[in-house]
Structures are given as C-alpha cells and as structure tokens.
Structure 1
Amino acid sequence: MIRGQLVDSCGRCEHYASELDIVANLCLTCGEYWACYRCHESAGHQFGRVPRTSGLLAVQCGMCGHSMTYEAYSAGSCASCGAGFNPGCALHADIYFS
C-alpha cells in the first residue's frame, strides 16, 4: 500500500502528479512505501534512506505494485509492467537512498 496524499490509485500525490510519477519509496524507519518525501513529512519521523547497494526492495511501481531494488528502479521503467518512471526523480535520489 502506498501512503501519502494520493490523487489516484497509481501513487501520484498532491506534490507529484505527472503521468510518470508512479513510484513509491520505502522508508526504512517505518517500513512503509510513500508517494514522496513531502507526503512522508506527516509521519512524524525522518525518512529512513535505503542504501543503494543493499538489495532491499526499495521502490514500488504504482501501476502494477511490483517492488524492486534501487538498481532495478534505476533502469527507468518497471521490469514487470514496462511503465516508465519520471527521470526527474533522480534529482531527489539522495532523499530516499544512501
């Protein structure tokens, strides 16, 4: 389940709602997938970043629900359904990943 101020069932939120904004990021602190870091601010704790090389399922595709590692997510699209991800999300990578 994707948490946040969602505007649709694919994980788009009030802050990021383009056609390609369909990923949710895992917070290691609470163990929940969040639509974005701004939505996560309501959680009351800092976002627990996932180490890039951990092999953890750090990202979830909002189109099909497939969970993937940072490495798989970095390919730019979902390996399960083929949905493309927003390339601009790379600008926020340090918020979600260490």
Structure 2
Amino acid sequence: MADSNIQPPPPSSPPKPKVHGLALTPLTQCIHYSTPLDIIAIKHACCGKFYACISCHNALESHTPEIWSNQQRGEKAVLCGKCGHVASIGEYMEGGSRCGGCGEGFNPGCRGHWGMYFEVD
C-alpha cells in the first residue's frame, strides 16, 4: 500500500542564465560597473543574451543594441546576480532598486541608463 502523505520533491529551480561581459564576477559585476550594488544583468532585445552592461554588449557583439518596448514589460529580462531571480522588466522598474526574489539592493543609479535598454516615458 502506497503512503498517500508522501509529497514529490519540489521542482528544481531553473539554471541561472549565462551572463556575458568583460571581467565578470560571480555576481555579474563587470569591468565597467563593479560596485557592490552592480549585481544585475540585462537580457538584450536584439540578441536575447544577458549582458552585465551595455558597454560589455557593445564590446562583444557586432550588431547595434535594441531596446525593449513598453509593450514588452512582461519579458523576463533582468537577472539578479545574487540569487539568480529573473525579473520581468516591469517588476525591475517598479521594484525600488531591490530584487523581488531575495531583496538585495541594486544600484539606484542604473535608473539613469534605463533608456539604453528599455523604452521609457
């Protein structure tokens, strides 16, 4: 007789996406941005690859970067280098410079660069 109280193991979390960049740390910091708060990587609309920053993208790709439109705010495109949570663009932009997965703080100065990645009003 099988024990009906036995629960299956929880599904394993998906693997952390590969992050591209120059002189990357395990937290996704790069040669261009390496403060303790520079721990995000952004998936680029043009190539679908996560990069530590736009400068790393431009150094390693031969195409022009494209930005995510306002209609794509649901796209899972912002990776927390601390916990691996991949936030939607909307979640990231509305998150108060904090990860929605682990609560770790992000660099609030990144907001000044959003126009390089996302359509902003």
Bin for the TM-score computed over the shorter chain: over 0.9
Match of 1:33 in 2: 50
List per-residue Cα deviations over 1:12-55 (Å, max 9, x = no partner): 00000000000111112211110000000121111221124421
Alpha-carbon distance between aligned partners in 1 of 2:104 and 2:55, rounded to the nearest angstrom: 23
Q: Note the residue ranges of structure 1 that are not aligned, 5 or more in a row.
A: none
Change over 3 Å in CA distance of 1:26–1:7 after alignment to 2? closer
Match of 1:68 in 2: 87
TM-score (norm 1): 0.92
CA RMSD of superposed structures (Å): 1.2
Asked if 2 retains the 8 angstrom alpha-carbon contact of 1:53 and 1:70, the reply is no
Alpha-carbon distance between aligned partners in 2 of 1:85 and 1:29, rounded to the nearest angstrom: 24
Alignment of 1:1-98 (within 5 A): 1-41=18-58, 42-54=60-72, 55-74=74-93, 75=95, 76-98=97-119
Helix, strand or coil at the partner of 1:59: strand
Query: Which has the bigger relative contact order, CA under 8 A and spacing at least 6?
Result: 1
Give the letter for the 2:42 counterpart.
N
- Pick which of 46-55 and 66-75 moved more: 46-55
Helix, strand or coil at the partner of 1:72: helix
Give the letter for the 2:77 counterpart.
A
Q: CA deviation at 1:82?
A: 1.0
Q: Between Structure 1 and Structure 2, whose CA radius of gyration is higher?
A: 2
Q: Note the residue ranges of structure 2 that are not aligned, 5 or more in a row.
A: 1-17
TM-score (norm 2): 0.76
Give the letter for the 1:47 counterpart.
P
Helix, strand or coil at the partner of 2:76: coil
Match of 2:15 in 1: none
Alpha-carbon distance between aligned partners in 2 of 1:70 and 1:53, rounded to the nearest angstrom: 10
- Percent identity reads 37
